């Protein structure tokens, strides 16, 4: 079974702090994704990566950056957290040219 893990289930940060969310997958998937999930809006893609050191902006990249130094690890960075970034963050992975995505359990981030 594919396993996608996220470094924290719950996180509380202050406005202006730098925040790192980490995601690790154990199935050698090429593609990795970061989404945020807000009530009534479904999942919105922040960034995705199709290879090490490669990244593409999703639909809502503003205020976020990402890093992929190793194939199994994809990090989401909030350079200066703001209250409107309070949300559930979901990481996912998939094989190249395969559409089925496998999700981690999510990180619920609260920015005060």
Q: Which residues bind another protein (CB under 8 A)?
A: 4, 9, 35, 40-45, 90, 92, 97, 99-106, 108
Judged by DSSP in three states, 84 sits in: helix
Cα 60 from Cα 98, distance rounded (Å) = 23
Smallest distance from the beta carbon of 16 to another protein, in angstroms? Answer: 28
Smallest distance from the beta carbon of 75 to another protein, in angstroms? Answer: 17
Smallest distance from the beta carbon of 85 to another protein, in angstroms? Answer: 19
Q: Which tokens in the block code for residue 51?
A: 């290879």
Q: Tokens 């559409």 correspond to what residue?
A: 99
Q: Which is nearer to another protein, 82 or 110 (CB)?
A: 110
């Amino acid at each position: 079974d594919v396993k996608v893990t996220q470094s924290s289930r719950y996180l509380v940060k202050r406005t202006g702090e730098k925040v790192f969310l980490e995601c690790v997958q154990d199935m050698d998937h090429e593609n990795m994704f970061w989404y945020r999930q807000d009530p009534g809006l479904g999942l919105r893609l922040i960034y995705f990566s199709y290879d090490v050191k490669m990244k593409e902006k999703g639909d809502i990249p503003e205020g976020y950056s990402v890093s992929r130094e190793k194939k199994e690890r994809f990090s989401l960075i909030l350079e200066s957290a703001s209250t409107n970034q309070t949300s559930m963050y979901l990481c996912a992975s998939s094989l190249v040219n395969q559409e089925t995505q496998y999700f981690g359990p999510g990180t619920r981030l609260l920015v005060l």
